[in-house]
Amino acid sequence: MLNCTANYFQMLQSKKLIILGLLMVIIGHSCKRNDSFVDDFDHAAQALKDNDSLVDFFQTHYYNDALDSVKPIIDGATALIDDPRLMMQDVTEREVDYTLYYFINSVGEPDPVKDFPSTVDSVLVKYRGEYLFNTEDLNFFDERVVSPIWLTLNSVIRGWSLGFIHFKGGRNITDNGPITYENGGRGILFIPSGLGYRNIGTLGIPPNANLMFYIELYDLVEGTDHDNDGIASKDEDPDGDGDPRNDDTDGDLAPNYLDFDDDGDGISTRDEAGDDGDPTNDFNDPNNPALPDYLNPNYPNSN
């Protein structure tokens, strides 16, 4: 449910299919509507309401280490709101301010050493999801706890994309049996509805429901390259705002990280890489020497 199009884009062979796949992700996560749809829902007001509900929940619940579970507060327990392992991250999404909360049980000790994932990397995870419809009730809706699953963080709810960047993977100790890791990142994501399924909801989750996920991060593909053009998806961010989703150099509705021809000149980005295979360091247009060839629609066809 979290990622109905996981790994889909890696199989696309043409720009037409890339655009179709992108639209599927958009529709699947209720991120956009057609031009005739007017979203008059007050997302900013809902964000404030969600944060109040989460703070109330943190005041009345604690993390039980022995059970690895969030429970209603008892005498002598430290409420989540006072637990130093509970962190917060301010997020602005679609011009609305949110607060994402994440609880770090362990950051993770990857072996071999790997960095934190980016918001568009592929990750190997287990999870259990519950939604908070008010400050008391937790409702189970989905889990993957028996065996881990690969997901791409650009194709899941935004709270996941932003939450997983605070954890690292572990060490693969699989030996002719089920996939097994140790020392992976473990924690909990507390996601306001605006970074989840918003005012639409989805199967098993009502509209405007805050979400809680117990997560384990086992591994990741550093520098995931969704369009296989020789540039890591996280680096296909020419405007430098840290969000590759909104960079579409040739205006064809496929963001650069899903577009094998970023400048739309009919030459694939990979084929504009020069002898070293790196498209980012080739600047051959004398009329525009600061623009790399793979983002320059006028080169090699410039006059």
**pLDDT score at 39:** 76
Please provide the CATH number assigned to the domain covering 38-221: 3.10.50.40
Distance in angstroms (rounded) separating the CA atoms of residues 114 and 172: 13
- Among residues of the chain, what percentage have pLDDT more than 90? 69
pLDDT value for 303: 45
Answer whether 115's CB lies under 8 Å from 168's CB. yes
pLDDT in tens, 22-44: 433 433 444 444 445 567 899 99
Q: Which residue has the higher pLDDT, 293 or 100?
A: 100
Q: Tens digits of per-residue pLDDT, 102-118?
A: 999 999 999 999 999 99
Asked whether the CA dihedral 42, 49, 155, 223 is positive or negative, the reply is: positive
146 versus 186: the higher-pLDDT residue is 186
Calpha distance 253→236 (Å, rounded): 15
Cα–Cα distance for residue pair 157/231, rounded to 1 Å: 24
pLDDT digits (tens, 9 = 90+) for 227-281: 999 999 999 999 988 899 999 999 999 999 999 999 999 999 999 887 788 898 8
Res. 169: pLDDT tops 90: yes
pLDDT of residue 135: 64
pLDDT of residue 37: 55
CA 303 to CA 149: how far, in whole Å? 50
Type of residue at 177: G
Report phi then psi at 87, rounded to 5. Answer: -115, 165
Residue 177, classified by CB atoms within 10 Å of its CB into exposed (0-12), middle (13-18) or buried (19+), is exposed
Q: How confident is the model at residue 298 (pLDDT cuts 50, 70, 90)?
A: confident
Q: What is the mean pLDDT of residues 274-303?
A: 84
CA distance 227 to 256: 8
- Highest-pLDDT range among 15-19, 46-50, 202-206: 46-50
Asked if residue 217 has pLDDT above 90, the reply is yes
User: Which has more confidence, 284 or 28?
Assistant: 284
300 CB-near residues (< 8 Å, 6+ apart): 265, 267, 284, 293
Quote the CA–CA distance of 48 and 63 in Å, as a whole number. 24
Domains in the chain: boundaries: 38-221, 225-303
Q: Is the pLDDT of residue 157 over 50?
A: yes
pLDDT score, position 137: 77
pLDDT of residue 14: 41
Residue 116, phi then psi, degrees to nearest 5: -65, 145
**pLDDT value, residue 176:** 84
Q: 246 or 5: which carries more pLDDT confidence?
A: 246
Q: What is the mean pLDDT of the chain?
A: 87
Model confidence, pTM: 0.82
